[in-house]
Amino acid sequence: MARQRGGRAWSTPPSLFAGVIAEAVVERQRSIVLAIMGEIVLRAPVDTGRFLANNIVSIGSPVYYSLDDYDKTGQATISRAESALSGLQPFTVTYIQNNLVYAGPLEDRHSRQAPAGIYGIAFYGVTQAYTK
């Protein structure tokens, strides 16, 4: 018995419960980030695969570089995202970004392969799925 509250005893100390909540928060955040990355991979226009490969996940602060990598399937991009999320802590800001100069125009519908953009649609779809 941990302590009495209103005549009843705690069956589990609140300090243990806080750890469970922190783990649940991290897992939920990880799931949401990977769902968004999956949508980005699905919606990204692919010519050489450079745009797709440059969708970078970082934790705590944004990155200001681009990669000289190519990924036509999205598998390597998702793997890098999963790896970046391995150090995720509860309530940490997570960034998904693409620093290529043509990422903005692609989002602004300058591609026949992505006529409605990429990120806005990915974000909207995932937020709808996770608000139910």
At 80 the pLDDT is 98
Stretch 99-124: mean pLDDT? 94
Does residue 1 sit within a domain? Answer: no
At 4 the pLDDT is 53
Does residue 90 sit within a domain? Answer: yes
How many domains, in total, are found in the chain?
Answer: 1
Does residue 28 sit within a domain? Answer: yes
Does residue 75 sit within a domain? Answer: yes
Does residue 2 sit within a domain? Answer: no
Does residue 3 sit within a domain? Answer: no
What mean pLDDT, rounded, does the chain reach? 91
Structural domain span for residue 124? 11-130
Digit-coded pLDDT (tens) for 7-49: 677 777 777 778 888 899 999 999 999 999 999 999 999 999 9
- Give the percent of the chain with pLDDT over 70: 94
SS (H, E, C) the chain: CCCEECCEECCCCHHHHHHHHHHHHHHHHHHHHHHHHHHHHHHCCCCCCHHHHCCEEEECCCCCCCCCCCCCCCHHHHHHHHHHHHHCCCCCCEEEECCCCCHHHHHCCCCCCCCCCCHHHHHHHHHHHHCC
Does residue 21 sit within a domain? Answer: yes
Does residue 79 sit within a domain? Answer: yes
